[in-house]
Chain A
Amino acid sequence: EAGVTQFPSHSVIEKGQTVTLRCDPISGHDNLYWYRRVMGKEIKFLLHFVKESKQDESGMPNNRFLAERTGGTYSTLKVQPAELEDSGVYFCASSPLEGGGNEQFFGPGTRLTVL
């Protein structure tokens, strides 16, 4: 079974530009999460989808970040315009709806560098 995949693996952009990150969850997983790790710090929760609906977006830093999950399958996270402090590793995770969302399966992450 394929795991969570993320694209791209790395992205280097200049301040003010736009970047879109993509996540493909494990097939059949209705829960999808975005997290971010800024260098050396904790992995921080950004938001949680159940199918195509946003259940919790309390961790989104500001309105420059927009997450979507059209059709309840893959998800995108857009940063527009990017700022220096947005640099970090963005992880996507997924889990099945049953089971109380215990184990979250993580993708390899997208390393974003804003210059």
Chain B
Amino acid sequence: GENVEQHPSTLSVQEGDSAVIKCTYSDSASNYFPWYKQELGKGPQLIIDIRSNVGEKKDQRIAVTLNKTAKHFSLHITETQPEDSAVYFCAARTSPYKLSFGAGTTVTVRA
């Protein structure tokens, strides 16, 4: 089955700086890569996703890049703000509905 590795497990950044989270996947058949953000006391919420026929996607301060050859994808958050503090999960989808998640990255934005 699909195996998703996520790094780092924790990330502390100064407010205004950028944050980068990296993931690798094992199954070359994976074709959809969502990123979820989980705030305290809430469930994971989709923040951005990318499909295998696209190399980069941007939405305001967040962007995701995908390298299919190397089987890795990354989340970039620019101009971090305190409300960006949360746990972020990357995921990959091989079968039509089943998501395989990374272990999560706890991001702390220092004021």
Contacts and interface: CB of A to CB of B under 8 A. Distances in A.
A109 B97 contact: no
A31 B44 contact: no
Contacts of A48: 97-98
A55 B100 CA distance: 16
Interface residues of B, number: 25
B43 A108 contact: yes
Interface stretch (A14-22, A38-46, A70-78, A80-88): A38-46
Given A4-B43, A109-B43, A101 B101 contact: no
Interface string B29-55: 000101010000111111001000000
A106 B44 contact: yes
Contacts of B6: 42
A102 B95 contact: no
Contact of B100 (A45, A91, A100): A45
B6, B44, B46: which has the most chain A beta carbons within 10 Å? B44
A104 interface: yes
Nearest to B97: A101
B25 interface: no
Contact of B49 (A31, A35, A102, A108): A102
Interface residues of A, number: 28
Contacts of B100: 42, 45
Given A33-B97, A35-B99, A56-B98, 20 more contacts: A4-B43, A31-B97, A41-B103, A42-B100, A42-B103, A42-B104, A48-B97, A55-B97, A56-B95, A56-B97, A59-B98, A91-B44, A101-B97, A102-B34, A103-B46, A103-B49, A106-B36, A106-B43, A106-B44, A106-B45
Interface of B: 4, 6, 9, 32, 34, 36, 41-46, 49, 89, 91, 95-104
